[in-house]
């Protein structure tokens, strides 16, 4: 195989690999839906009040987020699947009360999915 052809094929392969890498990075840098706990307050040994901030690329799509309360030893003590209806805004806040088995010390979002 001529050296020029080999160098050309390697060059094309590198360009394709870099194009795929950039496309993948851009696609995954902004997920379809993401959420984070904006505020939480442990209101008693068996409940926590939570405010979620949910951001969607397409606000007309309903989503569902899994919220988890954790105890001081990081064990899950409460869990709730929170539906977020379609809306006109890309970012919405959702307030909820999470029932726990024992006193929680933290509340986290374990993920969101399109429903």
Q: For 32-54, how does the pLDDT look when each residue is reduced to its tens digit (9 = 90+)? A: 899 999 999 999 999 999 999 99
Q: Looking at the predicted structure, is the pLDDT value of residue 1 above 80?
A: no
Return the number of other C-beta atoms located less than 10 Å from residue 75's C-beta: 11
Strands of 63-70's sheet in order across: 76-84, 63-70, 106-114
Comparing 4-13, 77-86, 102-111, the range with the smallest average pLDDT is: 4-13
Between CA 24 and CA 29 the distance in angstroms is 8
- Give SS3 for 97: strand
Identify whether the C-beta of residue 50 lies closer than 8 Å to the C-beta of residue 97. yes
**Do residues 35 and 91 touch, judged by C-beta distance below 8 A?**
no
**28 pLDDT exceeds 80?**
no
């Amino acid at each position: 195989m001529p050296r020029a052809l080999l160098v050309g094929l390697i060059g094309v392969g590198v360009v394709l690999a870099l194009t795929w890498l950039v496309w993948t990075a851009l696609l995954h840098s902004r997920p379809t839906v993401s959420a984070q706990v904006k505020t939480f307050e442990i209101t008693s040994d068996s409940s926590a009040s939570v405010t979620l901030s949910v951001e969607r690329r397409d606000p007309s799509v309903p989503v569902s987020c899994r919220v988890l309360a954790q105890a001081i030893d990081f064990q899950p003590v409460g869990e709730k699947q929170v539906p977020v209806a379609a809306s006109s805004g890309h970012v919405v806040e959702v307030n909820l009360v999470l029932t726990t088995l024992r006193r929680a010390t933290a509340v986290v979002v374990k993920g969101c999915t399109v429903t």
